[in-house]
Structure formats: C-alpha cells, structure tokens
Chain A
Amino acid sequence: MTNCKLLIAGLGGQGVVFLSRLISQAALLAGDNFITYESHGMAMRGGSVTSQVKIGNYRSPLVGLDSADMLLVLAAGEYERNRHFLRPGGTCLANSDQPLADLPQENLVGATAIAVNHNLPKAVNLVFSGWAAQHPAFPYSFELMQEAVKMMAVSPTIETANLKALELGRQMAK
C-alpha cells in the first residue's frame, strides 16, 4: 500500500487538475485508497491553481505545510508560493528551462519547449508526468501512468496524443 502526499502547482489551463486525476486513476488501478482536492471556479481563469493528492488511508484531501512528500511544479513561478508545503527530505520536481531557486538541475525539466516543439502545446502536463514518473520518489510507474492515460482518454485521437506526450517525457529522463 502506497502512502504519499503530493502537491501539484501551476496556472489555470495548464492541466494541473488533469494531472491529479491521472495520478488518482493510477492509484485506483494500483488498488490504493486516495483523496485529492483541486481548485475550481474563479481560480481557474488563468490564476494560480494547486491540486493536492493524498494516497493512503486519509480522510481529508488537504496537505499541510512541511508535510508533502512530493511537490510537482508545472509553472516555475508557482514554486515560491508552494515550496513550504514540502516536508524536509521531500522531493520537488519542476517544469523549468531555467535554474530554479535551490533545486538541483536533475529535478528540473523543460517540458514546455518539448511539448511545443512536438506541436502538443496543451500536453505540457503529460510530458512533465512522463518525465516525473521515472523519479524514484514518484508514487507510480510509467507503465501504470500509461494505463491511466488510456483509461481517461475521451477519444482515440486524444489517447494517441497524450501517450505520445507521456513518452516524450520519459525520453527526457534518459
């Protein structure tokens, strides 16, 4: 049974909510209990958005300060606002083509450029998660994330594009 608290941060429209749903779907496939929380409404209009994912036997989806095992940052500008949620010894992975604060270079990925170059500008979140899934601290395997993408796809076209984006991310980790 996995036990992991994640916080995902980004901007409205970047697919923060989709990414948390993807991880939830993977948790369901793995047979884990989970509870997540996402921003809706006014906040979704391009503003700062976070999603919280707690895998394990939790009742509340809220992640406290100093308690996230993992912080996933889709927009570099959102790191500063959310880094305090990470517990000491936790892992932060961020989408940034520039150095970001004190984060080690191997925890950064330029997923936006890759997505744009492959004409998948809306799939930054998937490129990012394909890359993140290679990290030992990430709760689920790349293969399970692939299964989750397939289960959540609303059309074959979207499934193909999303799987391609996920694979692009995986290649970044090599």
Chain B
Amino acid sequence: MQQVMLGNEAMARGLLENGCTFTYAYPGTPSSEILPAFIKQGRDHGITIHGHWSVNEKIALESAFTAAMTGMRSAAVMKQVGLNVAADAFLSSAYLGVTGSLVVISADDPGPNSSQTEQDSRMFAMLAKVAVFDPATPQEASIFAGRALDLSEELGLPVMLRPTATLCHARQNINLAKITKQLRQPEFIRQPQRWAATPKHRFRLHQQLNQKLLELAADPRFDFATQVESGSSSPAPYGIIASGCAWALTADLLNSLPDDETSQFSLYKVDLPYPLHKNAGRELLKRHEKLLVIEESMPVIEYQMGDQKKICGRLDGTIPDAGALTPEIIVSALNRFVKQKPLSANPNSIEAPPGKRPSLCPGCPHRSSFYALKKALPKGIYAGDIGCYTLGINLGALDTCLCMGASISQAGSFYQTFVKDGEDSPPIAAIIGDSTFYHSGIPALINARYEDSRFVLLLLDNSTTAMTGNQPTPAAGLQADGSRGPALELETLLKGCGIEKITIVDPYQQSELIDTIKEAWQYAQAPEGGIAVVIARRGCLMIPAERNLLPALQVTILDDDCTGCGYCLKAFECPALMLKTDDPENRVTIDQITCVGCGQCLDICPHGAIKIRTLT
C-alpha cells in the first residue's frame, strides 16, 4: 500500500511504525509538519500517543529524553537553529544515555531558505558525540526513523536523524507498514549515579560513550565501501562519497549522463555520517586515485576521512562552502574534480532576476502595528525578532534580527549603551510575537526589567505561531492534538516579569495604537517609569475564523487624486496595492482579488486618494 507523503509526514510515519509514542517539538521551517503528522496518523490508527508543542526546543528535548529514560520510545523534533537552543540538553543527554529510544530530528536548511544560518546538525551531533543518520529521500527517511529508534535502544544512547529542507518538503509515493498498538509501560529505575551524574561519574560515562562510538565505527551495517549505488560497480578511477540529499542529487545526475561519462565514477552512499565507518574510509582511499565528498552543508564526512591529500570536497574548495547544492554545482564540482573533458551536463548556474520578495499578508495586523510604530517613534531603534513580523523590515520598521527572543535583550542593551555613555537614549522599541515571547522572550524580559532598562515592548499578539503554519501558543489553551488545556494569560505573565505598564490595543485602531506607543515611550523615559508593554492584539488572518471578522470593505483608489508618489507602496507594502499597468503617472491601484477589505490603508494616503468604493 502506498500513499503520497511529504518527507516530514514520512518521518512521522516511520516513528509510529516503530513504536515511538512520545513526540515533543517546537515548530520551525523545515521541520514543522512532523508533529502534526505524528498526531494525525497516530489518531487515525487509534493508538494512544503523546504529541506536544513544547514552548521551546530545549524543553522539547528534555521532555523526550525523560520519556526515553523510562524505557519508552520518543522523539524531539526541531529545526537546526532550534538545536542551538536545545544544545545544553542535547550534549548532556549523550553522556547519560537512555533506556528506551530517543531520536532527535533536527532539520537543516541549506540555502538558507527560512533560517538565520546554514549550520549542519551533523556537525552538532559530532560535537555532542551522538550518532547521526542522513536520509536521502522521504521513503528512506521513514525507514531511517525506525533504524534510528532501534539503534538508540540498542546502544542506550540518543541518536539523531538529520533531514534537510529538500527532503522535508519533498513529496513521494511512500510504502506503508503497519502501525501497531504499543504495550510497553513506563518504568523509572533509580540510578542517581547515572541520571544525576556528578562530574566524577560524568568522566566514566564519557569513557563509556567513547567506547560505544568506537564499536559503532566498526559496525558492518554502516560499511559504506560496499554500497555502490550508481555509476560503475567495478572500481572506477574516481570515487564519490555522498550522503543524504546530496547523494540523491549526485545519483540522479550521474544517471542522466552518457555511459562513458558515468563509468568514470563509483558513487558510495553513507547512511551514518557520524561516527564514520573507519575501515570503509581506509578501503576507499586504497581503491581510488581520488575521492570527492559531497554532503550538506558542512564537511562532516570529509573531516573524518584520513589522508586529506586524496580528498576533494568543501575543504579544498572543489565544492563551495556556502549555499544549497544544485545539479549545476555538482556538475561543476565534478568537472573540477576530474579535470579532464568536462561533462556534457550544464555546469553554469544562472543569475535569475530577483524574485518577488515575501511580504506580510493583505490585512495582516502586523502591518498596521508597524505602520503605527513608525508614526509614533519615527526616529526609534526597532529591535526585531523572528517570525512573520521579521518582514517589518520591508516597511522600514525593523532594524535587528539576531535570534529567537533577542529583540528584548537587544532593546535593553541599546538603552544601557546609550545611557551609560551619558547620552539620552533614542526611542527604543522591541518587537516580538507572542510565540517567540513564550519561546525565549520571558527570561530576556526579566533580565531587562532587572537591569531597569527602558523601552517600549510591542508584543504582536496574533494568538498563534503564524510563520510556521499556525501552531497554537500557550495563551490559546489549545494542545497540539486540538484538545483543550490550561490557557496562560499573557498579561499575568508580563506582570510576573515585573512589568507595571501594560496596554492592550487592537492594531486595526491605528490612531489609538499610535497614541498608546507614544505614551508608552513617555512612561519608559519617566524617572519612575520602566518597560512599557503594548500588546497589539488581533488574530492572524491565516485562521479562517479571523478572516470572517474582517469588515469586508470595498476599497478603491481614486485615479484623479493619486499622484503616483508611491508612498503607500513603500510605507504600507500591502500585496493588494500595486502599480497600474502601463500608467505613465505611476499611479497605484488595488488588486480586488488580493484585497481582503480590512480598510487599514484608508488613512495612509497623503493625498486622500484611498477611499471606500461607493456604488454609482
């Protein structure tokens, strides 16, 4: 039986088919669809599973680890930068190990498409001394999820499954195996010297971990010298070692070349890039004149190969050290590697004209909030954060974006920097969404309040995690499986962080929001003041129920009044506002298909050309 599945859905399927009943995750592209698929497929098969959106990745990993401490099979799911947040738990868990299974799925984003960095989670696994699988296709990711669970239990260690975005968001026909009810019961065996190990015991645990990894690097199941998947099976002059999606790309490419070109190469596939099978590496160094290592996004296999003189890859510049791999990059790398007759495939990447940049959705409440922020504090420093609202940069209302939660620490530090220098602080605002605030804004806010920093915290509360597909936040009181749970009120939480000035405004009430932000900054500057929080509260329009609340206005632009100044396009950047085609005066019109009728643009035109349409 086959089904069309996204790579992320296939991994969830693999977890369920192999007895994993606990999955904890924080959403992040490209990993976000794994947990919902886990919950849905588990429910469809009538088995009891536990799937939760944790508040951040560290908590997800700690939770999954604990389930695996009681003999259960569990998974912690995140994107690669989420692993940075979970690093503390991740590195420590490798020493302690598990009695059940713990699979850490960390999805990488070479490119990057939707991330701050192009980091390689396999490198992180190497740092943590955690074995890591690198699947090549959705089908293989489903199988590897099972292999990772089995290996974890066999070794008594956490194991990583590392997909990349190309796999997460690939769709394929997937072979389905049975999902069966799990009969395991949790059992906690007290072992304080292990579960609460002090530094003395940690040394011993570290030695045990090293021993297990040594044995794994000699395990015949991971001997990749025998795995010739493409190209020539009798030793060709040139060997290529690849893993994951980089292998898939190379295999497809070699298969597309004429036989006389393909036969120069033997392609070897590595399933477990760390710890790399020792003898396989040695054997291939003997077998081939030269070896090319193709992997994403960092030289993990390459670093572990001996004799660097015979190895080409990222370290010697044969493969570029940034950006996602494409068929063209592989062709030009192969040409550099072979240095003889160039291959017949096209090695030239093109400079495509820039695409249309992403922007906030039509009617997005964030747009109104940013517009008001600029009006209220025109000379301000806008410390931003991570979410849809990072797109505030398009509106000139966002100056920084470091990492999750940093808006608040940065706003505090901007203030301290100016004030410590004896200067008046310029207006400072931190802009953070509700989900990011729960994720890592709270400790930052406690810190900023403790330092007595002064700024306006504009909390964009759309009651969801919008960027990654509208996962619920703790304020919604909704669980990942749709059931009801306790709702945590944002205002109470803010008060608990020592905030005394909190105002809630509907961002669609623009003039009220502008006045509130101005007043908030006054408060922040007053000697007895502090951090002023403005909660701009209105639901995300990706949620259908919120769209039904729109006023559904018929908005138009009067041709006679539009001067073609372009202010609305630049300052408001709504996708529904567009230049009229072939208009010599560069006038703007409203695309009626795109417009959602929120009416938020009605007051922005300096010439009053945007009006509610009246029927004539």
Q: Tell me, yes or no, whether A33 is within 8 Å of chain B by CB.
A: yes
Q: Tell me, yes or no, whether B171 is within 8 Å of chain A by CB.
A: yes
Contact A65 B346 (CB under 8 A): yes
Considering the chains assembled together, what is the distance between the CA atoms of A116 and B595 in angstroms?
A: 13
Contact A41 B467 (CB under 8 A): yes
| Given known contacts A64-B253, A65-B328, A46 and B575 CB-to-CB distance under 8 angstroms | yes
| Given known contacts A24-B171, A60-B249, A65-B328, A11 and B114 CB-to-CB distance under 8 angstroms | no
Q: Considering only CB atoms, which chain B residue lies closest to A29 in the complex? A: B4
Contact B4 A67 (CB under 8 A): no
Which applies to chain A's interface (DSSP): helix, strand, loop or mixed?
mixed
Stretch with Cβ within 8 A of A (4 or more), from B354-362, B419-427, B441-449: B354-362
Considering the chains assembled together, what is the distance between the CA atoms of A116 and B252 in angstroms?
A: 41
| Given known contacts A43-B114, A59-B137, A27 and B173 CB-to-CB distance under 8 angstroms | yes
Residue A46 contacts which of B247, B256, B331, B356 (CB distance < 8 angstroms)? Answer: B356
Give the chain A neighbours of B326 by CB distance below 8 A. 62, 64
Contact B30 A46 (CB under 8 A): no
Considering the chains assembled together, what is the distance between the CA atoms of A27 and B172 in angstroms?
A: 10
Bitwise interface map of B from 472 to 499 toward A, beta carbon under 8 Å scored 1, else 0: 0000000000000000000000000000
Contact B171 A60 (CB under 8 A): no
Restricting to A50-109, which residues have a CB under 8 Å from any CB of B?
A: 54, 58-67, 77-78, 80-82, 84
Restricting to B363-395, which residues have a CB under 8 Å from any CB of A?
A: 388, 390-391
Q: What's the tally of chain A residues with a CB closer than 8 Å to chain B?
A: 45
Give the chain B neighbours of A59 by CB distance below 8 A. 136-137, 247-249, 251-252
Bitwise interface map of A from 32 to 49 toward B, beta carbon under 8 Å scored 1, else 0: 111111111111111110
Give the chain B neighbours of A27 by CB distance below 8 A. 173
Tell me how far the C-beta of A147 lies from the nearest C-beta in chain B, rounded to whole angstroms.
Answer: 13
Give the chain A neighbours of B138 by CB distance below 8 A. 35
Considering the chains assembled together, what is the distance between the CA atoms of A77 and B581 in angstroms?
A: 13
Q: Tell me, yes or no, whether B550 is within 8 Å of chain A by CB.
A: no
Q: Tell me, yes or no, whether B353 is within 8 Å of chain A by CB.
A: yes
| Given known contacts A35-B137, A59-B137, A48 and B170 CB-to-CB distance under 8 angstroms | no
Residue B348 contacts which of A12, A65, A116 (CB distance < 8 angstroms)? Answer: A65
Give the chain B neighbours of A48 by CB distance below 8 A. 355-356
Give the chain B neighbours of A62 by CB distance below 8 A. 166, 249, 252, 326-327
Q: Tell me, yes or no, whether B349 is within 8 Å of chain A by CB.
A: yes
Contact B2 A28 (CB under 8 A): yes
Give the chain A neighbours of B172 by CB distance below 8 A. 33-36, 61
Give the chain B neighbours of A41 by CB distance below 8 A. 29-30, 113-114, 467-468
| Given known contacts A28-B2, A60-B245, A84-B352, A47 and B358 CB-to-CB distance under 8 angstroms | yes
Contact A45 B359 (CB under 8 A): yes
Restricting to B101-119, which residues have a CB under 8 Å from any CB of A?
A: 113-114
Give the chain A neighbours of B357 by CB distance below 8 A. 47
Contact A46 B359 (CB under 8 A): yes
Restricting to B530-586, which residues have a CB under 8 Å from any CB of A?
A: 575
Q: Tell me, yes or no, whether A21 is within 8 Å of chain B by CB.
A: yes
Residue B467 contacts which of A11, A36, A42, A80 (CB distance < 8 angstroms)? Answer: A42
Q: Considering only CB atoms, which chain B residue lies closest to A49 in the complex? A: B355
Q: Considering only CB atoms, which chain A residue lies closest to B171 in the complex? A: A36
Considering the chains assembled together, what is the distance between the CA atoms of A27 and B248 in angstroms?
A: 20
Contact B169 A37 (CB under 8 A): yes
Contact B327 A65 (CB under 8 A): yes
Considering the chains assembled together, what is the distance between the CA atoms of A36 and B256 in angstroms?
A: 18
Tell me how far the C-beta of B586 lies from the nearest C-beta in chain A, rounded to whole angstroms.
Answer: 17
Q: Tell me, yes or no, whether A121 is within 8 Å of chain B by CB.
A: yes
Tell me how far the C-beta of A123 lies from the nearest C-beta in chain B, rounded to whole angstroms.
Answer: 11
Considering the chains assembled together, what is the distance between the CA atoms of A24 and B350 in angstroms?
A: 28
Considering the chains assembled together, what is the distance between the CA atoms of A80 and B352 in angstroms?
A: 8
Residue A42 contacts which of B348, B352, B358 (CB distance < 8 angstroms)? Answer: B358
| Given known contacts A46-B575, A65-B350, A84-B350, A60 and B467 CB-to-CB distance under 8 angstroms | no
Give the chain A neighbours of B169 by CB distance below 8 A. 37-40
Q: Considering only CB atoms, which chain B residue lies closest to A60 in the complex? A: B248
Q: Considering only CB atoms, which chain A residue lies closest to B387 in the complex? A: A42
Tell me how far the C-beta of A146 lies from the nearest C-beta in chain B, rounded to whole angstroms.
Answer: 17
Contact B4 A44 (CB under 8 A): no
Q: Tell me, yes or no, whether B593 is within 8 Å of chain A by CB.
A: yes
Q: Tell me, yes or no, whether B345 is within 8 Å of chain A by CB.
A: yes
Considering the chains assembled together, what is the distance between the CA atoms of A37 and B113 in angstroms?
A: 13
Considering the chains assembled together, what is the distance between the CA atoms of A28 and B1 in angstroms?
A: 11
Considering the chains assembled together, what is the distance between the CA atoms of A125 and B390 in angstroms?
A: 29
Q: Tell me, yes or no, whether A129 is within 8 Å of chain B by CB.
A: no
Tell me how far the C-beta of B367 lies from the nearest C-beta in chain A, rounded to whole angstroms.
Answer: 11
Contact A43 B349 (CB under 8 A): no
A sample of 28 inter-chain contacts (CB < 8 A) reads A11-B356, A21-B4, A21-B171, A27-B173, A35-B137, A36-B172, A37-B169, A38-B171, A40-B29, A41-B114, A45-B360, A46-B359, A60-B136, A60-B245, A61-B172, A63-B327, A64-B253, A64-B327, A64-B331, A65-B328, A66-B346, A67-B327, A80-B352, A81-B355, A84-B350, A112-B593, A116-B593, A121-B593
> Which 8 pairs across A and B sit closest by C-beta, in order of nearness?
A48-B355, A64-B327, A41-B114, A41-B29, A47-B358, A59-B248, A60-B248, A45-B358
A residues with CB within 8 A of B: 11-12, 20-21, 24-25, 27-28, 32-48, 54, 58-67, 77-78, 80-82, 84, 112, 116, 121
Q: Apart from A21-B171, A46-B356, what are 17 other A-B pairs with CB-CB below 8 Å? A: A33-B172, A35-B171, A37-B170, A38-B169, A41-B467, A42-B391, A42-B467, A45-B361, A59-B248, A59-B252, A60-B251, A64-B326, A64-B327, A64-B345, A67-B327, A80-B353, A116-B593
